[in-house]
Amino acid sequence: MERVLKILFFALIVKPIVFIVLGLNLRGKPNLPREGPALIAANHNSHLDTLVLMSLYPLSKIHRVRPVAAADYFLRNKYLAWFALKCIGIIPINRSGRMRKSELFAGCHQALDQGEILILFPEGSRGNPEELSEIKRGIYHIVHDRTDTRVTPVMMHGLGRALPRGEALLVPFNCDVIIGESLPDAENGEQLVIAIKEAFLELQKYCITCSQPRSWIQDPKP
């Protein structure tokens, strides 16, 4: 039943919006992982980010694509929780900081063990529209012991203006989705963070909606 709900939601609502309402500049689609276990690491400015990435997959594969999302936001009431879990298929993450890493990412590892494709935003939460925030190391705790899981970087631009944070009204904008080649294995968290940063900045060069290249906005949190 959940698979049917997800397929119907993307077939009837999400895909028409993404491919008809939004003007999508898509590059590097052959780099998109087709089978899991795999992990997509993308920058994050809008709730549209997840939906656009998932819409790139055929409906026959959509149930295998799982976004990693904040439990405190998406499970905060029963209606949103039902939608997030049944229609989107999120893997909820507890951001309280009171869990061990093994417990925190247990759902991610279970999904990867089942051959699924995870979407993760290494900046953590949505930043200001079209600004890059500092990369967190959480992604490394998922992949560092998994030689079977590759990380594919994706740079998106324009979606923060099409559906800005705190807004409910979609505004048609041209948007970029630039998919890079999978990253080499990293020896430590810092090396992976640097690799993701470099990949984002390189992919940003192909964003036709980005008139001024964005550098990194320092995260005020320690």
Q: Does residue 92 lie in a domain region?
A: yes
Q: pLDDT category, 136, cuts 50, 70, 90?
A: confident
> Could you write out the three-class secondary structure of 158-220?
CHHHHCCCCCCCCCCCEEEEEECCCCCCCCCHHHHHHHHHHHHHHHHCCCCCCCCCCCEECCC
Q: Which two tokens stand for residue 119?
A: 């979407």
With the C-alpha atoms ordered 28, 22, 36, 66, is the resulting torsion angle positive or negative? positive
Q: Which two tokens stand for residue 120?
A: 């993760």
Answer yes or no: is pLDDT of 126 > 70.
Answer: no
pLDDT more than 70, % of the chain: 86
Cβ atoms of 138 and 39 within 8 Å: the answer is no
Residue type (1 letter), 37 = P
Answer yes or no: is pLDDT of 67 > 80.
Answer: yes
Q: Does residue 69 lie in a domain region?
A: yes
Answer yes or no: is pLDDT of 128 > 60.
Answer: yes
How far is the C-alpha of 144 from the C-alpha of 174, rounded, in Å? 36
pTM of the predicted protein model: 0.88
Residue 54, domain CATH? 3.40.1130.10
Residue type (1 letter), 169 = L
Give the pLDDT confidence of 166-213 residue by residue, as tens digits.
Answer: 555 566 678 899 999 999 999 999 999 999 999 999 999 999 887 666
Answer yes or no: is pLDDT of 27 > 50.
Answer: yes
Q: Does residue 179 lie in a domain region?
A: yes
Residue type (1 letter), 147 = T
Q: Does residue 49 lie in a domain region?
A: yes
pLDDT of residue 219: 44
Q: Shortest CA distance to 196 belongs to which of 84, 146, 121? A: 121
Give the pLDDT confidence of 76-102 residue by residue, as tens digits.
Answer: 999 999 999 999 999 999 877 677 877
Q: Shortest CA distance to 43 belongs to which of 141, 113, 166, 136? A: 136
pLDDT of residue 218: 44
Q: Does residue 68 lie in a domain region?
A: yes
Domain count along the chain: 1
Q: Does residue 222 lie in a domain region?
A: no
Q: Does residue 103 lie in a domain region?
A: yes
- pLDDT, mean over the chain: 86
Pick the range with the lowest mean pLDDT from 23-27, 48-52, 104-108, 127-131.
127-131
How far is the C-alpha of 99 from the C-alpha of 16, rounded, in Å? 39
The average pLDDT across 150-157 equals 95
pLDDT of residue 174: 81
Answer yes or no: is pLDDT of 220 > 50.
Answer: no
Residue 74: domain span:
2-217
